[in-house]
Amino acid sequence: MEIAEEESLEKIEITEILRIVPQKRFIAIANWRGSNVIVKLFFGPLHWKRNLAKDISGITLLRERNLRTPSLLHNALTAGNNGAALIMQYLSDGKTLTECMQNAVTSQERHSLLSLATRSIATCHRFGLRQIDVHMDNFLLSDKEVYYLDGGQIQVQGESLEEELAYDNFALFLAQFKVENDEAIGDLLHEYHLENKTCSAPVYADILRRVKRARNLRLINYEKKLLRSTTANRNIRSLDKFAVYDREIHSPLLEDFISDPNRYIVKDKLMKDGNASTVAELFLDGKGYVLKRYNFRSLWHSIKYQFKPSRAARSWCNASILSMLGVYTPRPYLFIEERFAGFLKHKAYFLAEKIEAVNLWELTEKEEFSTAELSKITDSFRKLFNIMIDYKISHGDMKATNFIFYEDKLLVLDLDAMKRHGSKRSFYRAIQKDLDRFMKNWRESPHEEEFRKVIDELKLPAEPNF
């Protein structure tokens, strides 16, 4: 890579790419003038000048308030003047709080990191600053000190942040975590108030309401990215297919699979062979997966799905949404839509993690199935149903065979009929249908009473006036 220096060009050697935001920027470790540095390259057409200015402004705002941020060493245009580079201090021992969370072993370690982030956010607010899209990657831990990253996200709102803005911004941060983390909100509010007394003591119920609202907005924004190329996923568009896959499984064999997935469905590995779908086990690069091929039953069935997302695409999106909320489901790795002329849909395929366990129906039918295990299962369903109610989610096919209880976790399967509802009316009908179908599994079974208790304890939405 080359940057412009007066009338000459200066080389920067990129050694490791850290992050790519397609058509906007990338961040990398590089060698510049004999030293390791961080390079942030802005190249998005029309917007790179504005994004560069915002980043420099944010860094300046932080440094003016003596808040730690990696030093800005240099900025320059790229060769050709169609982009710009920010060259910043590289903290070799630094890890983002996201990386620290991934490496944390105990719940206490994870809570300590959340407390550290909470205090950092509160300090920002005390100085009148907020990060527009605040998350754990915006903080770097180096030599036991927290550094603020991503100056482009920094906005100033006076000497101290107004209470409404401060609490909404803090709720936005909390909303990025799984629902189970909401149990820690009370402790984190205490940490926040210790660091920022310019706001009145936050009320738990008020913050929880803001978190749920922010999480719903995050889900909407997240859904928009699920079919695009991102740091985590890659999409492929051509005249004969549309596919999105997890970059983690990229390999030459995967490319061959994408070119002809049907060839990987072999008779002796079939798990189901029906009119609507075919399910088979397969192995790629030594790892086991489940492949589901969605078939068109008739011409009318084919026409209907030309005007809506394929069932494979819905399964991909819904699995990702459930994972974001903290609901377990076999990890989604890929979906493919076969197309004619670039837009007419044909067969579709969904590839997911293979879970080596029996489904819930088979588990509960075993002689050795215990009361203790039933208690764990009913507790898991209680949590699942509450998430569904809070975020207006219906499953669409609550057969017991569509669940697996494995390693003390409840996994939800068969997500192509799952839906997030925009209205109370449609959700009320759908959740009632889900719960009725769920209880049908246990009618006249030894477990009916325990599952009925779970349903009876739920705080269901009031029936709307139809």
Return the amino acid letter for 354: K
- Report pLDDT for 6: 62
Whether the domain at 95-225 and the domain at 233-353 fall into the same CATH topology: no
Task: Give pLDDT tens digits along the chain (466 positions).
Answer: 777 676 667 889 999 999 888 778 889 999 999 999 999 999 877 789 999 999 999 999 999 999 999 999 999 888 877 889 999 999 999 999 999 999 999 999 999 999 999 999 999 999 999 999 899 999 999 999 999 999 999 999 888 889 999 999 999 999 999 999 999 999 999 999 999 998 888 788 999 999 999 999 999 999 989 999 888 899 999 888 999 999 999 999 999 999 999 999 988 889 988 778 899 999 999 999 999 999 866 555 555 656 678 899 999 999 999 999 999 999 999 999 988 765 567 789 999 999 999 999 999 999 889 999 999 999 999 999 999 999 999 999 999 999 999 999 999 999 999 999 989 999 999 999 999 999 999 999 999 999 999 999 998 887 776 5
328: DSSP letter: B
Q: Are 147 and 106 in contact (CB under 8 A)?
A: no
10 Å CB burial of residue 322 (0-12, 13-18, 19+) is buried
Chain position carrying tokens 């590089």: 30
379: DSSP letter: H
| CA neighbor of 393 nearest in space, from 433, 356, 354 | 433
- Report pLDDT for 81: 79
d(CA 417, CA 103): 35
d(CA 131, CA 124): 8
- Report pLDDT for 216: 94
CATH number belonging to domain 2-89? 3.30.200.20
Total residue length of the chain: 466
Chain position carrying tokens 């036991």: 144
DSSP helix/strand/coil, 117: helix
| CA neighbor of 169 nearest in space, from 139, 204, 138, 207 | 207
| CA neighbor of 359 nearest in space, from 311, 401, 317 | 401
Fold of the domain spanning 233-353: Phosphorylase Kinase; domain 1 (3.30.200)
Q: Are 207 and 189 in contact (CB under 8 A)?
A: yes
Return the amino acid letter for 54: K
- Report pLDDT for 341: 62
Domain ranges of the chain: 2-89, 95-225, 233-353, 360-457
Fold of the domain spanning 360-457: Transferase(Phosphotransferase); domain 1 (1.10.510)
d(CA 327, CA 183): 16
- Report pLDDT for 78: 85
- Report pLDDT for 398: 97
- Architecture per CATH, 95-225: Orthogonal Bundle (1.10)
- Report pLDDT for 20: 82
